[in-house]
């Protein structure tokens, strides 16, 4: 099945999977008034070392972390950095895995082609300016998402705030497993066992990749990570369903891979 210009097959799966496409400016969650600069690219967000200024265009990543910190009332910047990274990872994995399972191919997800609104709400608003078909095997997904996005995103975050690489690696694995679980449920409910099987096979292969291996254990579609994203530390927060902790730790001592 060839990629269509609007990636329409992703839309029924929900907002984490759907991706706006086209050269823009176009109507949608990222309005671009006449004469205004379009949203920054993810390539700009991943710049290291960070620029001196920190508004939504000069340093969109720092801007996003501050926005998440305010929304969560996070007591530590690293918590907001973790949540921001996992949210973006979930979007990228959902698009890539959804395309690979439903189309058998990927769009080129080069960070220079993806625009991102750092001031948007969750799930992160992404806008692919051009749909260029690429292979949809596990190696291509790893190159597109892990090498192309999550590694430079991790480096950019760690240049801005102290956050453990093991935590970010666990977030990346957790986001992949979450996308796979949602894809699998949708595909089986809609008679797309072929897509469900492809999604499961790709996920298992990706979780064995050197950049994700050891981050957790996948059993069917259930995943248990070996690190903690720190969400339990925000006011009213708790441990996530795949957390290494069965309940929120009472001690302030850092846990595994925090």
- Digit-coded pLDDT (tens) for 145-175: 999 999 999 999 999 999 999 999 999 999 9
Gap between the Cα atoms of 13 and 97, Å rounded: 12
pLDDT confidence of 254, banded at 50, 70, 90?
A: very low
Question: Which DSSP category does 41 fall into?
Answer: B
- The answer to the question of residue 230 being in a domain is no
Is pLDDT above 80 for 70?
A: yes
| Percent residues over pLDDT 90 in the chain | 81
Instruction: State yes or no: pLDDT of 219 exceeds 50.
Output: yes
Q: What stretches of the chain show up as alpha helix (H) in DSSP?
A: 42-45, 60-72, 77-102, 138-141, 151-160, 165-189, 193-207
Report yes or no on 65 lying in a domain: yes
d(CA 202, CA 142): 10
pLDDT at 146: 98
Q: Is the pLDDT of residue 256 over 60?
A: no
State what percent of residues in the chain have pLDDT above 70: 89
What gap in Å lies between CA 121 and CA 199, rounded to an integer?
27
In this prediction, residue 23 carries a pLDDT of 80
Structure tokens at 237: 């927060």
pLDDT at 35: 58
Q: Show contacts of 183-188: CB within 8 Å, 24+ apart.
A: 183/13, 183/17, 183/94, 183/97, 183/98, 183/101, 184/221, 185/221, 186/12, 186/13, 186/14, 187/101
Whether 66 is in a domain gets the answer: yes
Average pLDDT over residues 171-190: 98
What pLDDT is attached to residue 53?
Answer: 59
Please check whether residue 169 lies inside any domain of the structure. Answer: yes
Question: Is there a contact between 91 and 3 (Cβ–Cβ < 8 Å)?
Answer: no
For the ranges 13-17, 48-52, 98-102, the lowest mean pLDDT is seen at 48-52
Q: How confident is the model at residue 38 (pLDDT cuts 50, 70, 90)?
A: confident
Task: Name the domain count of the chain.
Answer: 1
Choice among 19-33, 198-212, 215-229, 238-252 with the minimum mean pLDDT: 19-33
- 51: number of Cβ within 10 Å: 13
In a domain? residue 78: yes
What pLDDT sits at residue 24?
A: 62
Closest CA to 128 of 18, 32, 34, 14: 18
Residue 163 lies in a domain: yes
Q: Is 200 contained in some domain? A: yes
Candidates 231, 223, 206, 40; CA nearest to 119 is 40
Three-state DSSP state, 72 = helix
As a whole number of Å, the end-to-end CA separation of the chain is 42
Q: In which domain, by residue range, is 165 found? A: 8-28+38-214
Measuring CA to CA, how many Å separate 25 from each of 18, 211, 212? 18, 36, 36
C-alpha span between 168 and 85 (Å, rounded)? 7
Residue 57 has pLDDT above 80, yes or no: no
In a domain, 98, yes or no: yes
């Amino acid at each position: 099945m060839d990629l269509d210009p609007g990636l329409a097959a992703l839309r029924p799966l929900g907002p984490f999977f759907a991706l706006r496409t086209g050269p823009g400016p176009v109507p949608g969650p990222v309005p671009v008034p006449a004469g205004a600069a379009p949203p920054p690219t993810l390539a700009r967000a991943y710049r290291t070392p960070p620029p001196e200024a920190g508004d939504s265009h000069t340093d969109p990543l720092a801007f996003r972390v501050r926005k998440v910190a305010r929304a969560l009332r996070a007591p530590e910047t690293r918590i907001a950095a973790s949540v921001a990274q996992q949210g973006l990872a979930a979007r990228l994995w959902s698009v890539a895995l959804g395309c690979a399972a439903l189309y058998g191919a990927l769009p080129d997800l080069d960070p220079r082609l993806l625009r991102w609104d750092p001031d948007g709400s969750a799930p992160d608003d992404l806008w692919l300016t051009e749909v260029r078909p690429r292979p949809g095997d596990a190696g291509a997904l790893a190159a597109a998402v892990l090498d192309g996005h999550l590694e430079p995103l991790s480096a950019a975050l760690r240049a801005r705030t102290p956050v453990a690489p093991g935590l970010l690696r666990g977030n990346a694995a957790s986001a992949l497993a979450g996308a796979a679980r949602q894809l699998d449920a949708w595909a089986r409910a809609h008679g797309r066992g072929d897509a469900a099987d492809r999604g499961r096979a790709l996920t298992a292969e990706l979780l064995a990749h050197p950049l994700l291996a050891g981050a957790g254990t996948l059993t069917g579609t259930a995943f248990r990570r070996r690190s903690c994203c720190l969400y339990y530390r925000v006011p009213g927060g708790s441990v996530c369903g795949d957390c290494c902790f069965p309940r929120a730790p009472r001690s302030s001592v850092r846990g595994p891979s925090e």
